[in-house]
Structure 1
Amino acid sequence: MAALAEHAASRLADALGPAKVSTDLLDRIAYSCDASLYQLVPEIVVRAESIADVIELFAWSRRERIPLTFRAAGTSLSGQAVTNHALVVLRGFDCLHIPSNGQAVRAGCTLRGGYVNGRLRSYHRRIGPDPASIDACTIGGIVANNASGMCCGIAQNAYHTLVAMRLVLPSGTVLDTSDLEAADQLLAEREPAVYAGLCALRDQVRGDAELARIIRHRTRLKNTMGYSIAAFLDFERPADILQHLLVGSEGTLGFIADVTLRTIDEPPHATTALLGYRSLHDACAAVDAFDAEGAVAIELMDQATLAAIALHAGGRAFAPLPRTAALLVEFRYDDAEQSAAMSSRVTTLAQKTAATSLTLAASDRERHLLWQLRKGAMPSVGAARPPETALINEDVAFPRQHLAAAVHDLRSLLLEFCFSDAVIFGHARDGNMHFAFALDAAEHSIERYGRFMDEVAALVVERYDGSLKAEHSTGRNMAPYLERQWGERATALMWQLKELLDPDRLLNRDVLLSRDQRIHLRNIKQLPSVHHSIDRCIECGFCERACPSVA
């Protein structure tokens, strides 16, 4: 470790207290990976437990010229929670307030999403985003990545359900938008250049009809590539624009301390079914029929996914699993009779869509088991990968009318580049597909991966006009493809925004925006074989909250 970083860490320890700052190698290694394919060993690990700590960190970062990366749960899939600079581990931002009607919730950035939903359950409400990692990931990560999930779609994501935010700008200014008018006035007084800059960018976007069209077109699908620049069209006040720009910003524009989110109705009665189909094409073709009936979730699983799930299902599979392709569908109702009627309707739909099998959950336990199988898809796939390989979980969105053809072409591309172990699964209702495969750290494998990702970009953006990241955020993984997704004008706007809010580029450097066109191929983590029980770990971050190595 460089002596310069040691001295800088010592000065930070003087400000925050020695217990919050570490340059110990074990600490640095423990935080060198997130759930992505990357490993970067930080020079310094810092524990921030208050807004005062964050303000001090921002000032220290500016003085020492050392970039900061914030980390909460470590479940990030695109490399946005790792750095070789200063890693800030967040703890203690655990405020929680639920108004008496449960229509909204204010939650601190380090609270687990599943915990917040547990507190909302008595109101039959939940937060909108519902990632598979919700029991492990935090509110801060959910908002900073604009995560979604199986039922969320676009309308229920953090951007669209945000009510208020308490945020800290790199300058140290704290803004609480719960009183939006007061926040807007404070922003104008404390940060006149930022205020004027946001107004100028807003007017620039609204005065450019083609740019406005591009923004609306690119956000018609789930899309977490780049910044949430639709905020310049959707909101008027700079403070309101700012808080929505921080949604999905991946810690590159400021710090999110807590948020107030509008909650979503969660009716108590569910009709849940697993349907088998002869082919992926048939399964994709059936999606419209279930969506038309009001399904809140329609999950697609291919043959390889089903095989991996079956291998690791154990006693959780209470009925035979489909083998070729499957849809897991769910409907929710306030009334038990409506739910029962939909069970009959699902049987009819299964026949109309040529399903080869149908398993209807007959109890809450069976419903829970079906969802456990689906949510366990990625860990099951990861456990089956060859030793000394990392699991890559990519995430794209296609217009749903092209879903069957796009999935076919994606499978062909995976085979062409010798990723024959790949699986395809995802949120078919939104055209949002995940594809996961194993990759070793050999140079020729990384180069093959790079060529493959170039072809994926061409397939998704140019052939199908889709999104290169639907819910996993840009990270390092897709930063080189940002302009390909958004075009020159919108990408230039994002760089202007970064320059306005973080002119020294000290926040999460090379994440979301990077001048390095090979950043996605650098620092691929190596996973040497240790023991068969350890080799199965995919470093998903789900167990990090209980891990003694990061306590």
Structure 2
Amino acid sequence: MIQRDNLTRQLYAQDASMYQEFPEGVSFPKSGEDIRRLVKKANEDKFTITARSAGTSLAGQTTGGGVIMDVSRYMNQILTLDGEQHIAHVQPGVIRDTLNREAAKHQLLFGPDTATTNRCMIGGMIGNNSSGSYSIKYKTTREHTLEIEAVLSDGSTAIFKPLTSEELEEKKKLENLEGHIYRSMLRLIERNRELIQNSYPHPEIIRRNTGYALDKLCEMQPFDPNGRKFNLCELLCGSEGTLAMTVSARLNLSTLDQHKLVVVPQFETLEEAMRAAVEIVNFDPAAVELVDHIILNATKGNIEQRKNRFFLEGEPNYILITQFEGNDPEELQKKAEQVSAKLSEKSLGYAYPIIPEEDKMKRVWELRRAGLGLLMGLGSDGRSPSFCEDTAVRVQDLPEYVKEFRTILDKHNTKCVFYAHASVGELHLRPQIDITTETGLNTMKTMADEIADLVKKYNGSLSGEHGDGRVRAPYIEKILGREMLPVLRQVKEIWDPEYIFNPGKIVKPKPIDQDLRFSPSYQKPEPETVLSWRKEGDFGSAMELCNGAGVCRKLAESGGTMCPSYQATKDEKDSTRGRANVFRQVFAGENPAGYESEELKEALDLCLSCKACKSECPANVDMAKMKTEFMNGWHQKNGSTLKERFFADAAKVFPLASITPKIANKVAGSAIGKKVLEGVFGIDSRRDLPKFANQTFRGWFKKHRRNGAVKSDEKVVLFVDVFTNYNDPEIGKSAVSVLEHMGYEVLIPKAMETGRPQLSKGFLDEAKSICGEVLEEFTEYVEAGIPVVGLEPSEILTVRDEFLELCSDEQLPLAEKLAGQSHLFEEFVARNKSRLSPKAQNQTVTLHGHCHAKALVGNDPTVEALSAVGFTVDVLETGCCGMAGSFGYEKDHYDVSQEIGGLVLFPTLQKQKDPLVCAPGFSCRHQIKDGVNIKSYHPAELIHRSLS
């Protein structure tokens, strides 16, 4: 029932906050009954429980020293969704976006919209009373939670919902913990009502989550005869799992507006932007989001987010992403124009682009949502601990509040990220402080005090949505006053007298600087490496990049590729975040296990090295690169196996097999052959190995050179990899034909490998040697300025990526030039498409992009090249196919490989009738063949067949 192994404890020692605390163990309940049994056991064995779903909390709510209860793996079902009543009944592990995809079928949505909606879960949203970008329209989770089924601290169950006066009287009569809660809470409010109303933040502040929501209970019957029905759900929302464990919830769904439109005013100064926000809210927007220059600059260094900067005019320091929603598009356009006119009239801002296109609006919001992860991934020079993350004041107070906040920043000689929810007076404020130094840590503690005083001055809330947790709980006294602390403790003890549920959060907190992930006592890892780690600075810095934002926990249905194994298993150890956390833990400290860590090897086992994290992770964590360095170190300590060497040695084995290809194919395809391959090399017998061609590409090309190959002053080097040469020579032939059609003389180098298989398996010394050999051979091409074109994406992109880390400092200038001259085949064709003369045709091709290409280049060049020869291209929104080089061939990985393929790729292709499929990757084509029995083609083959 409780997993207590070291790896699991390491995985759950941190969330997205600045804290790290190793739990006793982790539980994965499958039902309310499982939760009830866990709570009973906690009472018997005297351990505590901290509830957790996605673990994206910023205040340390989901870290704890007892048992972590993770509801995300199993309790993730939408139990019912009533489109007529606008009600959804869900388990706590349901992802917000998953709920909204189902709700959209009924033209409904769950309104609260955090930046983490593709992985945050309803249980966490209830715990934190989450809201998000649209809180000016939809308010908070509290306003949409109708009913909560919960397990109480004694293991009993209760359902909390709005109660009539008669129902409330019946609850008070119950002779159990539930009855005690109702009786005691009513008495508590009655005795302290005036104190509560005088102590809590201004009621105009929509997002006020400081302490327990006692001020909301004061608004209800019987305390206000005209108020809402008494409903303890409103107290549980924002209670951070300290009062009860959520089993399920009934949620109110809102009607989905048919139209929306975005206008993005752009500013030179923060003062302008804040004054503009005050003006904009008068036009009834659905959202007004501030993004500052620190985040905008960070988008330049992120492959994925660079594409989303299209709407920026010049280099604004601040922007306000403003969305209007409704059912009349003309009215929305009118509002946007009125906003632009008003701001221009008041000389607020210099540009006001209006964006009505749905796909472009989506890209604007993707840039906004990436903000947190981007700024948390700025490295040690940009450390910004989340200690004053989301203070909230009234909107009209925002300009003066920000002015005074900046005075505090100046006083401490630091700068700050300003972004988020300007529409409701809440900004995410992230001062840059390096708390790994004593000076930085003391600065953070001093500023936390001063900022709490400033919030109190404006009668604001210390937490607008992310909760008090550990980081803000020590300052509740400053905001609500000393007299309120005993009242808050009474609330906790009414519900949970033994402090079983999430202790140390909201009440009785530890000091802000205890259990920090990074602190003056932190020892940065400094392991020996083969790769240079030039971009990150060193391997230790790469291990510190992950910030816990958990973008890698999104599911396949949300789009993107990261993290394919997590999408299949939903196990934290298979996420980039989980692996990164284990990396840091096993390499840091006085006695690190480092390259000998069994736990890290296990966590990396299902990493497909797809590179999606390199572009999709906002902190730019490159787990494929980290894995290859670790596996190299592991081999140095422990040696390697025949299974690990088999695919890495393909260039040595394939020439022998190609001498008698028919015999090799027959043996490999026979039952006995498959059994031997499985037993000796670990190749799953359910797989068919790629067949060897009767004639290699190189054998064909020698004859082609003698029999009429194009000679030209314009030359191109065609890099033909091992697999194309021995298994798929037709692709090489097609590529030669296309390039010669374009007027180029094709040169074939001796090299057939760039070290991709060696990198995948962690043989870095061999990969480094191959890199050196390729650089030496290609020097003449580089000096002559001859472009190098590759057919297998993973091979040619190794030249553009890993070569820059494998080469020596002396080789780096040459490697950089070669990288600049290297192209995917389809990239080169797209750039020179004017040389093509295609036949007229009208055919649709379905494109499944290669993971490395999507991460480093994108699908656009392939689309452009295929379109140039007349194809209509349907780009599949697929992630990794699941094969990933040798991964899917291995017996230990076959099932997961098929599960990954079955997430999106297989079912999408199965729905199509006789699709013409393009898959640039060798492994992808074989996975598609094995998974759905459809032949797919390399772009070179399709382009070749289309030329006249």
- Quote the offset at 1:391 in angstroms: 4.4
Give the residue type in structure 2 aligned to 1:252: T
Give the residue type in structure 1 aligned to 2:372: M
Contact preservation (8 Å) 1:102, 1:123: no
Q: Which residue does 1:550 correspond to in 2?
A: 573
Deviates more, 1:231-240 or 1:147-156: 231-240
Give the distance between the partners of 1:119 and 1:256, measured in 2 at CA.
22
Q: Which runs of 5+ in 1 are unaligned?
A: 1-19
Contact preservation (8 Å) 1:98, 1:105: yes
| TM-score w.r.t. length of structure 1 | 0.89
- Quote the offset at 1:282 in angstroms: 1.2
Contact preservation (8 Å) 1:175, 1:187: no
Contact preservation (8 Å) 2:172, 2:182: no
1:46 aligns with 2:27: yes
- Quote the offset at 1:510 in angstroms: 0.5
Contact preservation (8 Å) 2:146, 2:233: no
User: Aligned in 2, Cα 1:196/1:391: closer, same or farther, shift over 3 Å?
Assistant: closer
Q: Which residue does 2:335 correspond to in 1?
A: 342
Deviates more, 1:50-59 or 1:147-156: 147-156
Runs of 4+ more than 6 Å apart: none
- Quote the offset at 1:308 in angstroms: 2.5
Aligned residues: CA RMSD: 2.7
Select 2:293's aligned residue among 296, 303, 319. Answer: 303
Residues 430-479 of structure 1: per-residue CA shift (max 9 Å, x gap): 110111235333343222211111111111113x2211111110000011
Select 2:43's aligned residue among 52, 58, 62. Answer: 62
Secondary structure at the counterpart of residue 548 of structure 2: coil
Question: Counterparts of 1:184-263 in structure 2 under 5 Å?
Answer: 187-188=171-172, 191-192=175-176, 194-196=178-180, 198-206=182-190, 208=192, 210-214=194-198, 217-221=201-205, 222-236=207-221, 240-263=230-253
Q: Which residue does 1:17 correspond to in 2?
A: none
- Quote the offset at 1:429 in angstroms: 1.2
- Quote the offset at 1:275 in angstroms: 1.0
Q: Flag the structure with more relative contact order, 1 or 2, with Cα contacts below 8 A and sequence separation at least 6.
A: 1
Give the distance between the partners of 2:172 and 2:402, measured in 1 at CA.
48
Give the distance between the partners of 1:450 and 1:81, measured in 2 at CA.
22
Q: Which residue does 1:10 correspond to in 2?
A: none
User: Aligned in 2, Cα 1:183/1:522: closer, same or farther, shift over 3 Å?
Assistant: farther
Give the distance between the partners of 1:262 and 1:199, measured in 2 at CA.
27
Give the residue type in structure 1 aligned to 2:218: L
Task: Choose between structure 1 and 2: higher strand proportion.
Answer: 1
Residues 213-240 of structure 1: per-residue CA shift (max 9 Å, x gap): 3266544312111111134323348995
Give the distance between the partners of 1:231 and 1:461, measured in 2 at CA.
19
Contact preservation (8 Å) 1:201, 1:232: no
Contact preservation (8 Å) 1:37, 1:390: no
Q: Which residue does 2:326 correspond to in 1?
A: 333
Residues 287-324 of structure 1: per-residue CA shift (max 9 Å, x gap): 23221111111112333333223443312211335422
Contact preservation (8 Å) 2:78, 2:88: no
1:145 aligns with 2:168: no
1:536 aligns with 2:545: yes
Secondary structure at the counterpart of residue 248 of structure 2: strand
Contact preservation (8 Å) 1:479, 1:513: yes
User: Aligned in 2, Cα 1:237/1:63: closer, same or farther, shift over 3 Å?
Assistant: farther
Deviates more, 1:148-157 or 1:125-134: 148-157
Q: Which residue does 1:465 correspond to in 2?
A: 459
Give the residue type in structure 2 aligned to 1:536: L
Deviates more, 1:78-87 or 1:441-450: 441-450
Give the distance between the partners of 1:209 and 1:327, measured in 2 at CA.
39
1:404 aligns with 2:399: yes
Give the distance between the partners of 2:89 and 2:462, measured in 1 at CA.
31
Q: Which residue does 1:30 correspond to in 2?
A: 11
Q: Which residue does 1:524 correspond to in 2?
A: 516
Q: Which residue does 2:265 correspond to in 1?
A: 275
Deviates more, 1:481-490 or 1:200-209: 200-209
Secondary structure at the counterpart of residue 143 of structure 1: helix
- Quote the offset at 1:51 in angstroms: 1.0
Give the distance between the partners of 1:281 and 1:314, measured in 2 at CA.
27
Deviates more, 1:189-198 or 1:410-419: 189-198
Give the distance between the partners of 1:402 and 1:36, measured in 2 at CA.
28
Secondary structure at the counterpart of residue 113 of structure 2: coil
Q: Which residue does 1:112 correspond to in 2?
A: 95
Give the distance between the partners of 1:522 and 1:89, measured in 2 at CA.
24
- Quote the offset at 1:399 in angstroms: 2.1
Give the distance between the partners of 1:51 and 1:476, measured in 2 at CA.
27
- Quote the offset at 1:177 in angstroms: 4.0
Residues 262-287 of structure 1: per-residue CA shift (max 9 Å, x gap): 12233121120111123111111112
- Quote the offset at 1:38 in angstroms: 0.3
Give the distance between the partners of 2:243 and 2:209, measured in 1 at CA.
15
Residues 93-129 of structure 1: per-residue CA shift (max 9 Å, x gap): 2233221326222221000011111111233322131
Secondary structure at the counterpart of residue 380 of structure 2: coil
Give the residue type in structure 1 aligned to 2:364: L
Contact preservation (8 Å) 1:143, 1:247: yes
Secondary structure at the counterpart of residue 396 of structure 1: coil
Secondary structure at the counterpart of residue 326 of structure 1: strand
- Quote the offset at 1:55 in angstroms: 1.0
Deviates more, 1:282-291 or 1:89-98: 89-98
Contact preservation (8 Å) 1:479, 1:511: yes
Secondary structure at the counterpart of residue 36 of structure 2: helix
Select 2:149's aligned residue among 137, 149, 166. Answer: 166
Secondary structure at the counterpart of residue 331 of structure 2: helix
Select 1:129's aligned residue among 92, 109, 112. Answer: 112
Q: Which runs of 5+ in 2 are unaligned?
A: 224-228, 526-538, 555-562, 575-948
Deviates more, 1:254-263 or 1:535-544: 535-544
Contact preservation (8 Å) 2:381, 2:434: no
Secondary structure at the counterpart of residue 235 of structure 2: helix
Give the residue type in structure 2 aligned to 1:285: R
Give the distance between the partners of 1:470 and 1:190, measured in 2 at CA.
35
Give the residue type in structure 1 aligned to 2:550: G
Residues 309-349 of structure 1: per-residue CA shift (max 9 Å, x gap): 34433122113354222211111111222233334334323
Give the distance between the partners of 1:154 and 1:176, measured in 2 at CA.
28
Deviates more, 1:88-97 or 1:124-133: 88-97
Give the residue type in structure 1 aligned to 2:379: R
Give the distance between the partners of 2:29 and 2:169, measured in 1 at CA.
28
- Quote the offset at 1:134 in angstroms: 1.3
Secondary structure at the counterpart of residue 101 of structure 2: helix
Contact preservation (8 Å) 2:129, 2:209: yes
User: Aligned in 2, Cα 1:398/1:502: closer, same or farther, shift over 3 Å?
Assistant: same
